[in-house]
Structure 1
Amino acid sequence: MRHSIRKTSIFISLLMVLVVMLSAVPSSFAAATAEAAVNKKVYITKASYVQLIDANLIPSSSGATASFTFTFYNGDSKDLILNDYWARLRSVGGTKYTLTLLDQTKKKIAPKSSATLTFYSQVGSKASLDQLVINIIKFDFSVSGYERTVAKYTFPKGYSNFVKAGGFKTILVNNSNVNVRIDQINVRKKDKNYEFNLSYVVRNTSRFGVTLPQYNYYVQTSAGLYKLSLKNKTDETLLLEPTVLNAVRLTGSIPSTLAITGWKLIITDNAGAEANKVELPVVTLDIPFKLTTTPAGSSVTTFTNESGTYEVTLKSVQRLPWTTKDRVIAEMVIRNKESVFVPLPDLTGQFVIDENIKLDSKIVAGTEVIGLAPGGSATVHFIGEIPFSYSWRKFSLQLSEKTGEQTNLLADLTKSSIAAVPTVKAGSVYTQSVAGSQLTAQVTDVRTYKGEDSDIYAVYVEVTNKQNRSNFLPAWAGYFKTADGNYYEVKMVKANNVIKPSNKEQIILYADLPVNANKEGIQLLIGEAYDDSGVIMGTGTAKGYIRPIQLELPAEKTDISSFKQMKAGPYTVDMTYFNAFMDGYLLDIDMGATLVKDRMYDGFTQNKLTMVLEKERTNEVILTHTIDLEGKSDGGTTWKVGENYSELTKDMTTTPVWDDYTLNIYETFEGHKIKLASVDISWSTYINWLDGTH
């Protein structure tokens, strides 16, 4: 008796543990188990089986349409005759439904191969899969009723076959396996309706291309079905190449009085003759979403067009001086929200100032970007102009797209603050990583070239090509800004050369300044120049500039006592020898120099020096001689890379000659000149005036 009680106690304890363990099984595991039970293989011979691979139930005009897809596998050594088999459908309450076979041309299955059969039937509007029972029967005239059930399929309570959010389903398209999933949903409220836009993606996982059928598309809501149409008509004949991910975009209008929870996308295919056409379910997908809204004052929104779904962000708004007005530069980032490549949309933009003032704008074309990878982005600039004296309180950018004769407003973005121009400290390197324009830039020298009525203030900038291909580098435009707030337009000199990867070019940015202009604290405001065709690559006439930077400039070098490290373009000149004497009326000069060239420069314009012997107190010049660095000089001297020694003579019979002069080395630019080195000399047959002791 005691032993029996102990056994009973142990049994109850084990039972309680089992109950606790079962209650702890994750719902996903339970769902997977239920799915496996529904899709079980049932052997109809020792080697052949039937398997339910899909079951769907969707609303229809006459109630609901149920469809069931089976795979029959023949593992035997002789043909499996399909005419020997059929499917029977009934409700758990005993109501019988008549099934129709979708493809009635399949009669038999060869050994070691399979075939897929789909049966469908109209059922009641309140039917659910868990209330249906489907049997596979074999005609057998040896049994009562001549039918023998070989497989029976039922569905657990609450069973549904829709694809949950984030999931995918494999469907059959002409015997090819195609994966289907939701990609993007963009729903906006407009007047009394929701503008519904959805894209789903398909990938053909088979070995041969197949055309996507002309499916029907519906949104299932609590109030019923609403038909969607293809946003792009070319998708009617979309060819699904193997492994390629394709996007199909749908659109429709749905009353905004409906609750937006529990919506599903139903895809159906037409079956039967036109007179008896029926729509069979292909797949049902859960489509949870939130309404796309752009709050007042927002700088970010999403829109959908025929090509895809995009997110646009008004990144910054800048005002830059240009001639007599300010250029307004609206920099916008456009991002691909889809899982497939999409083209860059053709957008137009209009600036709206303080609610009611509309300004025309134009887009500056990029140099490289024509499409966007999944999740990829591109930056575009909209350009307008405004009187420099006007200050706004609110700034908006309205984006539109023209389709045929109709212009559609896609987005209204707001950003009223003006973005500061980034400053590059003196001696620092500016790096730019824009597609098609990867480069670095650094100021290497500042020079004031003297003239009679004005000075030329020039800034030398070294620009390096950081792309992996040879290319023209962009032109630059902008303004010099003095400490007292005056602006002087920048002019540019650059070679129109292709620059190899990692090589560089020297550009000269300059302005004509009044002789008495205060250059202390002067700053350089520049950006990439553009014209009507977009960013200027190489040379051209600028109509403005984008991506501005403000360069702090180093102090100008004023020491002219050394004849070493004299710069002209990519060349460095060290003059090491200079001797001059009079031989009767003949001036005889001997000079020597070392010339070094930075061969990383593919583009430059400066390559000459000018040697002058002059009496500075009286402005008397007795000799002006051009030194050409690696070039051809008419009447001058050419120096090559390496050591150079030159002699020149001049008849001074008609020229008054003094005993002492000043040797000056100049560089000239745009008719102005700068003194690079200077030393006082006198005639001597043996003195080297550049030996460092004079």
Structure 2
Amino acid sequence: MILKIKRVTTIMLMLCMALSFLSPASIHVNAANTRPSIDKQIIKLSAKSSLTLKDAQFLSQERGRVLSFTVTVTNNENKELNLIDYWIRVKDSANKSYSVNLITADKSKTKVAANSSLNLTYFGIVDSTAKISDYKFEIIKWDFSVSGYERKLGTIQYPASSTEKVQAFTAKAMLYDTTKVRSALKQYLVSQDDDKAFVTMNFLVENVGSKTTNLSKMKFFVQTENQMTYDVDTGDLSKVIIQPSERKIITLHSTIPIESAKKGINLTAAVADEANNVTIPLGVFIVPAKIGAQTSSAQKIGGAFSYNDYSIKLNNIQRTPSGNGDVLLAELQITNKSNTFKEIPNLSGVFTVNGVDMSASQTTSTILDQIALLGPGETSSTVIRTEIPFSTSIKEIVLAVAEKKTGEETAKTIYHFSDNHVNIIPSYNIDQTYVISNLGRRADVKLLRATYLEGDRYENIYFEVEYQNKENRPVSPAALAGYVQNQSQATIPVTFTEYKEKIMPTGKVLLTAWAKVPKTYTTDYVTFTIGQSISSPGTGEGTTALTSIAQPFAYKVVKNDQSTTKTMLKDIGVQNYVFSMNNVLASFNEVQVGNDYMTNGVKLTFDYDLQKLGDYENESNDHKILVEVVNLDSKMAQFSKEFSINDPVKADAEDNLKVGTKLSKSIVETTPEVFIKFESRVKYRVNVYHVYKDEKFLMATKEITWFYIDN
């Protein structure tokens, strides 16, 4: 028995010695860890009434660091409970006391009805560094029968491991206005540059009360771990009305200095107590984003981010010429990731080039697709464009993507992309198809002909483009635009013919395009870049592609004998027709006068073949063939005639060329001074032009001897 006592005594002595080596702080922490959870700490006010505490949280503001908390008083008595005899004292770990007051909305609440509960919210200015577990909430009752007239009914203190912050994606109930809501941080996006972090958050608010409410009184702030507080852009919350049991997502935006944010950030929901000149926090939600000062988290070109029910990808940023400057054009691809139809978000953006913000007023955005709603899994393209000086060398480019919601006056930034270059537009052979994949205007575009044509002062680089509708409904074609560049990067705009009608499913139209280039323009080969014009409503006459070309596609067009003005009068392509001249003869024009013949001028006679290649919906009378005769002497006299091409209205008219072979036409010049003009008749030249309105393109030319038939 003595041994047992000695052994127990020894163990107790060893335990006491071990405890003596522990610091008071360690002992305090161990004790704090044994505290029950805050909801189990119930203070009795009377035999059948009690008090509990919840929702203690901080918000730093101009007056200092505000601590707010809510107590629930439950009265199970059969009579009302008068609260005037009770009050709360807040102390920190150093036993320093802090004054707390009721918020304005609760000051009139002095009694708790029988068999009911009542919530009271308090606030006070407290220490700027203490944790929530450092504070003790003493529940006091006035009692004039004890010394000091105060009787402490109990103390509530959060366990050491407690935090007032709510994890992302975890719901928290909050008392708001005259109802109760459940809220959670459902999604967050963080991008950054060298100095700032850009945070976009989707915040769920569910009305779990019995009254309709709007969020006009709710405020939001981003707090950092070093107690810095930053405003949050919420948009117009007065328009967010939530019925009982209804859930709504609101999108919030904030910009924070990197140095302040790199230790962690939280989103705080709050309401203003204007009478007390204080903002009362309702809930603090952790934003689990890693923000660093050294590296950028912004996606590069080709990257994507998730936003609500969409995936948004920066497909490319391309640079194209534009008059005296260049255009930067970013293509965003928006994919609907939900199982329901969605509106296409109204996205815009602002470029920052080499640290300089481009003008927001000169930056525009355009949706390329012709649809009202985006189906599940479908993708839409939005292009954002701005102009920059052509001499700018890009070393860094940032695109801030923003969304403007219906009813809101301004767009809110939701993400940043950053890179150190723009995309190069690759070149393809002319047999490649340019595919337009935008919903509502899907099409295949083919370059059928590219020809270098001679001119007097300029040369024309001439193109014929086939546009085929790949939609299963009649649709208007996308507006096309383009430009040519030679090896020296000298850039000339391309003009397209117009077609304003709808094209039938699988139907085709043939478009003519051309660029007037100086005689000195080096054209061993050119790059012909074609794309969708987003600066004009249609494939318009005179449309300059240099303004904006979306989804550009480049062809390398080599100059050779087959791609220049023909030196024979055979196989001349004009639109979808091939024209050939045979048995060409220039001679005198003779008319019969009685039994004699009289020469009254000169004429050109020829046989011709006209072949039609394919059917197009835009066989227009605006395209014609001009045959011109130029006498090769010092006077260079000429005469000509313009012919319609297979015009069914004109049929057998003299100025209409019909489809067929071995047909004949003549051109006669009988002006009074004809013999003076054509005094010398040795050689002449026949020129064949494709005429479109005021434009003439020299398709073929040949020198021939007078009075000899040329085959």
* TM-score, normalised relative to structure 1: 0.55
2:483 is matched with: 478
1:246 is matched with: 249
Listed one character per residue, the Cα deviations across residues 363-389 of structure 1 (whole Å, up to 9, x for unaligned) are 4533337999999984323222245xx
Question: Using the alignment, how far apart are the partners of 2:458 and 2:539 within structure 1?
Answer: 31
Question: Using the alignment, how far apart are the partners of 2:668 and 2:334 within structure 1?
Answer: 76
1:380 aligned to which of 364, 369, 384: 384
1:461 is matched with: 465
Question: Using the alignment, how far apart are the partners of 2:283 and 2:118 within structure 1?
Answer: 14
Matched, 1:507 2:511: yes
CA shift, 1:568, in A, is 3.5
- Structure 1 pair 459–56 and aligned structure 2 pair: CA distance change class (3 A): same
CA shift, 1:423, in A, is 0.5
Question: Using the alignment, how far apart are the partners of 1:412 and 1:521 within structure 2?
Answer: 39
1:58 is matched with: 57
Question: Using the alignment, how far apart are the partners of 1:59 and 1:409 within structure 2?
Answer: 28
2:646 is matched with: 629
Listed one character per residue, the Cα deviations across residues 437-469 of structure 1 (whole Å, up to 9, x for unaligned) are 765432101335455666533121223456777
Listed one character per residue, the Cα deviations across residues 171-209 of structure 1 (whole Å, up to 9, x for unaligned) are 576667654325336597999xx9896644235478996
2:624 is matched with: 608
Matched, 1:569 2:575: yes
- Structure 1 pair 127–364 and aligned structure 2 pair: CA distance change class (3 A): closer
Question: Using the alignment, how far apart are the partners of 1:517 and 1:216 within structure 2?
Answer: 63
Q: Report if the CA contact (8 A) 2:328-2:387 is conserved.
A: yes
Question: Using the alignment, how far apart are the partners of 2:454 and 2:207 within structure 1?
Answer: 74
Name the SS for the 2:699 alignment partner. Answer: strand
CA shift, 1:561, in A, is 8.6
- Structure 1 pair 57–502 and aligned structure 2 pair: CA distance change class (3 A): farther
Q: Report if the CA contact (8 A) 1:576-1:594 is conserved.
A: no
Question: Using the alignment, how far apart are the partners of 1:361 and 1:280 within structure 2?
Answer: 36
Equivalences for 1:110-149 in 2 at 5 Å? 119-120=119-120
Listed one character per residue, the Cα deviations across residues 617-676 of structure 1 (whole Å, up to 9, x for unaligned) are 9x99999572432365595355789x89988799999999x9xx9999864463343249
Q: Which amino acid aligns with 2:218?
A: Y
Question: Using the alignment, how far apart are the partners of 2:590 and 2:691 within structure 1?
Answer: 31
Q: Which amino acid aligns with 1:476?
A: A
2:291 is matched with: 291
Question: Using the alignment, how far apart are the partners of 2:547 and 2:123 within structure 1?
Answer: 69
1:165 is matched with: 168
Question: Using the alignment, how far apart are the partners of 2:470 and 2:328 within structure 1?
Answer: 26
Question: Using the alignment, how far apart are the partners of 2:169 and 2:554 within structure 1?
Answer: 47
Question: Using the alignment, how far apart are the partners of 2:123 and 2:297 within structure 1?
Answer: 52
Name the SS for the 1:366 alignment partner. Answer: strand
Q: Report if the CA contact (8 A) 1:440-1:465 is conserved.
A: yes
- Structure 1 pair 602–235 and aligned structure 2 pair: CA distance change class (3 A): farther
1:447 is matched with: 451
Q: Report if the CA contact (8 A) 1:497-1:603 is conserved.
A: no
CA shift, 1:214, in A, is 1.6
- Structure 1 pair 624–299 and aligned structure 2 pair: CA distance change class (3 A): same
2:328 is matched with: 330
Question: Using the alignment, how far apart are the partners of 1:337 and 1:652 within structure 2?
Answer: 66
2:498 is matched with: 495
CA shift, 1:479, in A, is 2.3
- Structure 1 pair 465–213 and aligned structure 2 pair: CA distance change class (3 A): same
CA shift, 1:211, in A, is 0.9
1:21 is matched with: none
Q: Report if the CA contact (8 A) 1:184-1:337 is conserved.
A: no
- In the alignment of these two chains, the number of paired residues is 558
Question: Using the alignment, how far apart are the partners of 2:514 and 2:200 within structure 1?
Answer: 54
Q: Which amino acid aligns with 1:58?
A: Q
Q: Report if the CA contact (8 A) 1:184-1:198 is conserved.
A: yes
CA shift, 1:471, in A, is 3.6
CA shift, 1:163, in A, is 3.1
- Structure 1 pair 443–89 and aligned structure 2 pair: CA distance change class (3 A): same
Listed one character per residue, the Cα deviations across residues 130-185 of structure 1 (whole Å, up to 9, x for unaligned) are 99999xxxxxxxxxxxxxxxxxx999995667532233346576667654325336
2:203 aligned to which of 193, 201, 204: 201
Name the SS for the 1:379 alignment partner. Answer: strand
1:368 is matched with: 367
Q: Report if the CA contact (8 A) 1:170-1:177 is conserved.
A: yes
Matched, 1:235 2:251: no
Q: Report if the CA contact (8 A) 2:567-2:700 is conserved.
A: no
- Structure 1 pair 299–443 and aligned structure 2 pair: CA distance change class (3 A): same
Q: Report if the CA contact (8 A) 2:194-2:294 is conserved.
A: no
- Structure 1 pair 314–447 and aligned structure 2 pair: CA distance change class (3 A): closer
2:540 is matched with: 538
1:211 is matched with: 214
Q: Report if the CA contact (8 A) 1:465-1:473 is conserved.
A: no
Question: Using the alignment, how far apart are the partners of 1:200 and 1:457 within structure 2?
Answer: 54
Matched, 1:422 2:417: no
Q: Which amino acid aligns with 1:636?
A: E
- Structure 1 pair 519–104 and aligned structure 2 pair: CA distance change class (3 A): same
Question: Using the alignment, how far apart are the partners of 1:488 and 1:258 within structure 2?
Answer: 47
Question: Using the alignment, how far apart are the partners of 1:624 and 1:255 within structure 2?
Answer: 75
| Percent of matched pairs sharing the same residue | 11
Listed one character per residue, the Cα deviations across residues 569-596 of structure 1 (whole Å, up to 9, x for unaligned) are 3457899999xxx999699999897756
- Structure 1 pair 69–668 and aligned structure 2 pair: CA distance change class (3 A): farther
- Structure 1 pair 243–675 and aligned structure 2 pair: CA distance change class (3 A): farther
Name the SS for the 1:286 alignment partner. Answer: strand
Q: Which amino acid aligns with 2:287?
A: I
Question: Using the alignment, how far apart are the partners of 1:237 and 1:415 within structure 2?
Answer: 38
Moved more, 176-185 or 458-467: 176-185
Question: Using the alignment, how far apart are the partners of 1:639 and 1:384 within structure 2?
Answer: 50
2:696 aligned to which of 649, 668, 671: 671
* TM-score, normalised relative to structure 2: 0.54
Listed one character per residue, the Cα deviations across residues 94-127 of structure 1 (whole Å, up to 9, x for unaligned) are xxx9999999999899xxxxxx955347699988
Name the SS for the 2:475 alignment partner. Answer: coil
Q: Report if the CA contact (8 A) 1:166-1:182 is conserved.
A: yes
CA shift, 1:419, in A, is 4.5
CA shift, 1:429, in A, is 0.8
Q: Structure 2: 5+ residue runs without aligned partners? A: 1-35, 41-50, 60-64, 90-99, 140-155, 304-310, 338-342, 403-411, 598-602, 676-680
Q: Report if the CA contact (8 A) 1:504-1:603 is conserved.
A: no
- Structure 1 pair 68–506 and aligned structure 2 pair: CA distance change class (3 A): farther
Q: Which amino acid aligns with 2:328?
A: A
